Structure 1
Amino acid sequence: MKKTLKDQIKAILFDLDGTLLEINLDLFIKDYLTGLSASIAHIIPQKKLIPQLIKVSRIMENNDGKETNEIVFKKSFFPLINYSQEEIEPIFMNYYEQEFSKLKHHAKKKPEARSLMAYLFDKGYDVVIATTPLLPKTAIEQRLEWAGVDDFPYKLITSYENMKATKPNLLYYKQILEIIGHPVEKCLMVGDEDKDMVAAHLGIHTFLVPSPETKLKPSTPKPNFQGNLNDLKSII
């Protein structure tokens, strides 16, 4: 492992769930799908809708970069359920505005996350929230609030509105680099999963924050650094 990246890094990319925010992802996703589908259960039965939501998520995961994940979702989902966007989208947006916050009980703040962000912005780094962009920006902003780090001027927050690929597709990381305008050797990816550490294939430096979701594949380059969020300060 490298010992330090002092004076080498311009941008730091952060995964959200499991990295900046402690969260039980299995329960979170289960209750999210249940809640979202319940919001339109008067139109489409939940047992029918949940498999379709999962199917469309898989389609977004295979996005080839021609259109945003949002467009891919809408082109796939609404014909699949045989209802128009105009009929369903307002109901979904109401769910995110009124009900999504109830999932907060699955999450827990990492006290060190806020102090780290304050430190990084004080030092002048460009900071990116590089979370899996399969949900609307509001769902990501709310989770940033749960983590206590929602009020920083991030260079980019990836969401399904602005990204044309998702983790672990390297196209996702290439798009981030293009948007923020920094070369790979000036960037550091901080995350807890294999789909974060694969950024190393492009030459991006990596910092692993171990969590219950950490299961690295043999084909994934060994992280350059490993530790908790507080440890990050010592290497940049």
Structure 2
Amino acid sequence: MLKAILLDLDGTLLGNSMELFVPAYLEALGGFLAGHVPPRRLVTELLNATRLMAANDGTGPTNEELFASAFYPALGRERAQLEPVIRRFYAEEFPKLRSLTRPVPEAPRLVEWALGRGLQVAVATNPLFPRTAIEQRLEWAGAGLQRFPYALVTTYEAMHACKPHPAYYREIFSLLGRQPEECLMAGDDWGADILPSTGLGCRAWWVADPTAQPPAA
């Protein structure tokens, strides 16, 4: 019996092309921290640290701690020095990126439907961003935390693996207290959302154009 639904964020609950969003995000972050770190160097080291998070296998530190262990030393800056500036970026500049996204009218209705049937609802977004960036994007989607009592939101502060690593999904099942067979993953990315979750026995719903075909294996 279905007990929980896992919902991807970007491209599922929120219309957001990461091919457009990520470059704009990096440019904005680099500009905001330019007084502390040259923008090109900041972006290079941020991407290097992000690749480390993407390879996290669930057996070590959180994604946040793994990121910090690489990012700040590579910049030659103390974490305590830059973190307050980065927090200000998310409070002051990150909200301006909302214009690159669009709400999906069906998204809040889907969450409401699932909760109304007693299902646990988890926001299963790739945990490469801090919690504030995910909470803001949920608000942009009309499905914020003040509106819906999610059972779980996967942030880089809490998680120990990323999509498409199976450890990411195993951690979700464990945190929800569910077996894979009791869950359904809904997402737009075949390789990150559908294949790894179904490979563990989870059901899945591919959010795609009706004429789309799964990529060839």
Q: TM-score normalised to the size of structure 1?
A: 0.86
**SS class of match (2:199):** helix
Question: Structure 1 residue 218: deviation in Å?
Answer: 3.5
Alignment of 1:1-236 (within 5 A): 8-65=1-58, 66-150=60-144, 151-193=147-189, 194-198=191-195, 199-210=197-208, 216-219=214-217
Query: 1:95-133 CA deviation, whole Å, 9 max, x = no partner?
Result: 011111100011111111111111111111000000000
Structure 2 unaligned regions, length at least 5: none
Question: Structure 1 residue 64: deviation in Å?
Answer: 2.4
The 1-side partners of 2:33 and 2:104 are apart by: 34
* Amino acid in structure 1 at the alignment position of 2:16: I
**SS class of match (1:149):** coil
Question: Structure 1 residue 217: deviation in Å?
Answer: 4.4
* Amino acid in structure 2 at the alignment position of 1:196: D
Instruction: Tell me what 1:225 maps to.
Output: none
The 1-side partners of 2:33 and 2:109 are apart by: 40
Contact 2:62 2:160 in 1 (8 A): yes
Q: Structure 1 runs of 4+ off > 2 angstroms?
A: 214-219
Identity, in percent, stands at: 40
**SS class of match (1:202):** coil
Instruction: Tell me what 1:227 maps to.
Output: none
Question: Structure 1 residue 43: deviation in Å?
Answer: 1.5
Q: State how many pairs are aligned.
A: 210
Q: TM-score normalised to the size of structure 2?
A: 0.94
Question: Structure 1 residue 215: deviation in Å?
Answer: 8.2
